[in-house]
Structure 1
Amino acid sequence: MTTLVIGANGQIGRQFCELAQAVGLPIRAMVRAAEQQPWFGERGIDTVVADLEDDFKHACDGCDQIVFTAGSGPHTGPDKTLLIDLHGAIRATDLACERGVSRLLMVSAMRAEKPLEAPEALRPYMVAKHAADAHLRSSAVPHVLLKPGRLVDAPATQRVATSLEESGGENRVSRANVAHALVHLAQARDLLNREYVLLDGERPIVEALS
């Protein structure tokens, strides 16, 4: 069955889609505008045009799993944090419940449950993630919450840690490793109602996320 990728055109989303296509995982990339489709089409990736801030229910037709990796990004204001990181994630959970999908894989953030401990500029984002995660946990949707640390651009090592202790106190993870972790989770259909912190480390992804 097909996995709907919400946030497919983002930095993690594109890497996930390429990797998923390479391993033969059927996916549908949800993009906001037709102008974003050619990049995916050139790689043989199915797309659907739908806006997370509007009606996107049709994007889920025929899909039995959702990967949510959408984010408002660091250069937008609190309005987009509310609309995408909070309301968009909540609506994705509600849609998953309505359609009876098998799982929702949600990219959240490490320490989202303690938003007031985040740097002041990040607190609105962390509050949004905290509330959206709580909504997902309380829903009837089988899910996996992936909670990366500080995202950096670096090559994939496919070796990770699931705690600060294990990572030697390094609170960072490459977007490439997050994408690889999502591909593993998308294929590991037996993992239900799990939560994983994700940092760069030394353990193979398959071993760490099991």
Structure 2
Amino acid sequence: MTTLVIGANGQIGKQFCELAQQAGTPIKAMVRSEEQASWFNDHGIDTVVADLEGEFEHAFEGCDQVVFTAGSGPHTGPDKTLMVDLFGAIRTADIAKQKGLSRYIMISAMRAEQPLEAPEKMRPYMAAKFAADVHLRNSGVPYVILKPGRLTDEAASQQFASSIDEAGDNQISRANVAHALFHTVQTSSLANQEYLLLDGTRSIGEIIQ
């Protein structure tokens, strides 16, 4: 089963791709340019050049499931949030449905369903995530939605929690999200499930069952 990784060049996506490559898990990294592809090619990772804001249906060829870990980033405006985090995610679900993919694994965000409670500058992003998640749930494609808390650059502890009460905080390292994503990709029986992810004290297998 080959997994298309949309957002492969992002911080979570690249760490996930490394984990998959080391384990021999078949993936295809979708990147925006040949320049970005060079790192993946050097690491023996199959790549496809496609733009989430353009035509990218060809990237799905030969893939059985898709991971969406793309993001417009903190330094862009609401226009990019609309095109990447919202419309890009929606189009991914539509193409996945059209092509009969077995699963769509979404990296969303904790409390995406409550965008008005987010800091003002984060509200467009949260609203985009909320709408994209709703579209995915109703797309007819089997899905898993992972909802990490506030992201940090700490090293992977591979220890998780599934609530703020349990974690005592609202954060999780990008490295831990990558490990959770890898576990989800490898667990093909998971479908139509959603999981809150925070740094904690339990294994990912205890959180994602």
TM-score, L = length of structure 2: 0.99
Q: Which residue of 1 aligns with 2:187?
A: 188
SS state at 1:48 partner: strand
Q: Which residue of 2 aligns with 1:152?
A: 152
> Deviations for 1:37-78, whole angstroms, at most 9, x for unmatched residues?
110011100000000000100000010000000000000000
**Alpha-carbon distance in structure 1 between the residues aligned to 2:156 and 2:39:** 21
Q: Which residue of 1 aligns with 2:126?
A: 126
**Alpha-carbon distance in structure 1 between the residues aligned to 2:158 and 2:72:** 26
Q: Which residue of 2 aligns with 1:173?
A: 172
Please list every run of 5 or more consecutive structure 2 residues that lacks an aligned counterpart in the other structure. Answer: none
Query: What is the aligned-residue RMSD (CA, Å)?
Result: 0.5
Report the identity percentage: 67
Aligned pair 1:89/2:89, yes or no? yes
Q: Which residue of 1 aligns with 2:73?
A: 73
Q: Which amino acid aligns with 1:192?
A: A
Q: Which amino acid aligns with 1:83?
A: M
Q: Which amino acid aligns with 2:29?
A: A
**Alpha-carbon distance in structure 2 between the residues aligned to 1:29 and 1:56:** 12
**Alpha-carbon distance in structure 2 between the residues aligned to 1:190 and 1:158:** 21
State the Cα distance separating 1:112 from its structure 2 match.
0.3
State the Cα distance separating 1:139 from its structure 2 match.
1.1
Q: Which residue of 1 aligns with 2:19?
A: 19
**Number of equivalent positions:** 209
The aligned runs of 1:100-119 (5 Å cut-off) are: 100-119=100-119
State the Cα distance separating 1:24 from its structure 2 match.
1.2
Q: Which residue of 1 aligns with 2:40?
A: 40
SS state at 1:106 partner: strand
Q: Which amino acid aligns with 2:151?
A: L
The aligned runs of 1:39-58 (5 Å cut-off) are: 39-58=39-58
Q: Which runs of 4+ in 1 moved over 6 A?
A: none
Q: Which amino acid aligns with 1:68?
A: F
Q: Which amino acid aligns with 1:178?
A: V
State the Cα distance separating 1:207 from its structure 2 match.
1.5
Q: Which residue of 2 aligns with 1:141?
A: 141
**Alpha-carbon distance in structure 1 between the residues aligned to 2:166 and 2:28:** 35
State the Cα distance separating 1:113 from its structure 2 match.
0.4
State the Cα distance separating 1:208 from its structure 2 match.
1.1
SS state at 2:74 partner: coil
**Alpha-carbon distance in structure 2 between the residues aligned to 1:141 and 1:132:** 13
SS state at 1:67 partner: strand
SS state at 1:198 partner: strand
State the Cα distance separating 1:166 from its structure 2 match.
1.1
**Alpha-carbon distance in structure 1 between the residues aligned to 2:84 and 2:77:** 11
**Alpha-carbon distance in structure 2 between the residues aligned to 1:162 and 1:189:** 21
Q: Which amino acid aligns with 2:91?
A: R
Please list every run of 5 or more consecutive structure 1 residues that lacks an aligned counterpart in the other structure. Answer: none
